[in-house]
Structure 1
Amino acid sequence: MFGLGSVELVILAGILVLLFGSKKIPELARSIGGAARHIRDMFS
């Protein structure tokens, strides 16, 4: 996935938790998924 290994993904997840807090992560992931779905639907 974008040339990222498991160590990089763990570091990225840690940074996201520090920036947004553990309670905001599911909400953030949900909104990113919704946006990705919307973009995918636009192109199909």
Structure 2
Amino acid sequence: MTTTIAALLGGPEMIILALAILLLFGGKKIPELMKGLGKGIKEFKDGQDGHNEPIPAKEPVKP
């Protein structure tokens, strides 16, 4: 009995979930969240592949 969450959610459930997320975060915040999620996934995959290049900082670090 191995089922995933995606198998349990159908069309109407996905629409309700999307509307709930839209109400919680608002239309302006969702693209920022997705951008951050994409960066996190990219860093995770790079870490798995063994790319150990330092990530450039946006702002200089103050001592």
- Quickly name the TM-score band, shorter chain normalised: 0.7 to 0.9
Q: Whole-Å Cα distance in 2 between the matches of residues 7 and 17 of structure 1?
A: 15
TM-score (norm 1): 0.75
Greater C-alpha Rg: 2
Aligned to 2:53: none
Q: How many residue pairs end up in the alignment?
A: 44
In the TM superposition, what whole-angstrom CA distance separates every residue of 1:1-44 from its partner, at most 9, and x where no partner exists? Answer: x5244333322211111110111010000000100110011001
Structure 2 residue runs without a partner (length 5+): 50-63
Structure 1 residue runs without a partner (length 5+): none
TM-score (norm 2): 0.57
Alignment identity in percent?
42
**Aligned-pair RMSD on alpha carbons?**
1.7
